[in-house]
Amino acid sequence: MSNDSGNSGKTPRKRKDGGELDETRGVFMISVAAELAGMHPQTLRMYEARGLITPKRSPKQTRLYSQADVERLRRIQEMTTEAGLNLAGVETVLDMEEQFERMRAEMAQMRKRAEEMQREMLEQLEQARGSLRAEIVPYGAYNSELGARPVEASEPVKIPIKRRTKSPKRKRG
Amino acid sequence: MSNDSGNSGKTPRKRKDGGELDETRGVFMISVAAELAGMHPQTLRMYEARGLITPKRSPKQTRLYSQADVERLRRIQEMTTEAGLNLAGVETVLDMEEQFERMRAEMAQMRKRAEEMQREMLEQLEQARGSLRAEIVPYGAYNSELGARPVEASEPVKIPIKRRTKSPKRKRG
DNA sequence: TTGCTCCTCACGTCACGTGAGGTGGC
DNA sequence: TTGCTCCTCACGTCACGTGAGGTGGC
């Protein structure tokens, strides 16, 4: 890209001065958001009409896009330009990603409960016959058996979209 | 429809005589498969060229579609005609469904292991001090805590695709 | 006034479905 | 010969992106 203002393209995070950046706060007017996302402003309006993105509005109805909105736009851009999805596909995939996310959370929950359960039971066992504990399969062994990969608590699920082998769409002139 | 042989439109299953129907066996020529899937034969060839479906071939290179192929075609049909996905979207969604499936299997596995674990530990507890068992939170209570919904072992995951509000695509004339 | 916003309308391009046209073997 | 198969090519339609055109407020 060319003329963005230096800090774009980076994910939002805590600032050095310790202040919080609110990812969901509407801060960019449409022209800026479009620039950041590498899209035509009119495209953003179209996406909104299709329900793919819902920027905040100023009291005077000017659209205000958040960092999170811009991330979402970039994600949509990726799906359309690089994977060749149409907007119906984008909608579907975004929905599915949410489902993945819920499922992932459920798994993490399950794992956590299983661990708690074990701990409690081990405690009870210990209470029941303290010295016997060494003979029992230790906590760690059970835990590692509970699943192959650890489930990260924070990272959202992103489905890797296949790049098309065909010619990519033309970019905005 | 017109000239299919009576049993079309039904999902394959065990036959009354006890014989097995092999869902993956190539049995339908392209015209029949197209008829069953409600598609144009040429569309099937196109999908194959795009890698969306891979029918078997006879020694003379005639395509032979299985029941499973027809199901897949119907599924694709649903995604394109009713949800409005393009073929890139179909590809992506089918991939994602496979991922869902793996995740679901993993969860079932986890649940199973957690249950086994409990059982073992309860056994050990019982061994340790038999009569105390009544005081311990019983098996069933732990189990119901392990997750909201039961995970079915057999049913494959199908993502519900939203129907478009827009006009549906025209059917084959 | 300039440059942004808002909106609607229209057009070019591309993907996709399908028809046509020509071949070959049961 | 008829009706299927194979293939490639071409065209119509639709979705999508974007440009234009006209409005209004800082």
pLDDT of residue B153: 46
Instruction: With CB atoms and an 8 Å threshold, state whether B92 touches A93.
Output: yes
If one compares B133 and A121, the residue with the highest pLDDT of the two is A121
DSSP string for residues in chain B:
--S--SSTTS-----TTSPPP-TTS--B-HHHHHHHHT--HHHHHHHHHTTS---EE-TT--EEB-HHHHHHHHHHHIIIIIT---HHHHHHHHHHHHHHHHHHHHHHHHHHHHHHHHHHHHHHHHHH-GGGGGGSPPHHHHHHHT-SSPPPSSPPP-PPPPPPSSPPPPPP-
B40/C6 CA-to-C1' distance in Å: 45
What are the chain B neighbours of A114 within 8 Å (beta carbons)? 110, 114, 117, 146
Instruction: With CB atoms and an 8 Å threshold, state whether B159 touches A103.
Output: no
Average pLDDT, chain A: 76
CA distance B50 to B91: 9
Q: What is the pLDDT of residues B79-117, one digit of tens each?
A: 999 999 999 999 999 999 998 899 889 888 888 888 888
Average pLDDT, chain B: 75
* Among A27-31, A137-141, B153-157, the least confident range: A137-141
Whether A158 shows a pLDDT value over 50: the answer reads: yes
pLDDT of residue A130: 57
pLDDT band at residue B124 under the 50/70/90 scheme: confident
Tell me which residue in B88, B117, B129 faces A118 most closely, judged by beta carbons.
Answer: B117
A42/D19 CA-to-C1' distance in Å: 10
Q: Which long-range contacts (CB under 8 A, 24 or more apart) does A110-113 make?
A: A110/B107, A110/B110, A110/B111, A110/B114, A110/B146, A110/B147, A111/A146, A111/A147, A111/A151, A111/B110, A113/B145, A113/B146
Mean pLDDT over residues B16-43, rounded?
87
Instruction: With CB atoms and an 8 Å threshold, state whether A107 touches B110.
Output: yes
User: pTM for this structure?
Assistant: 0.74
A100/D17 CA-to-C1' distance in Å: 30
**For chain B, percent of residues with pLDDT exceeding 90:** 43
Size of interface A-B (CB pairs under 8 A): 126
Q: Report the gap between the CA of B153 and the closest CA in chain A (Å).
A: 16
pLDDT of residue B120: 85
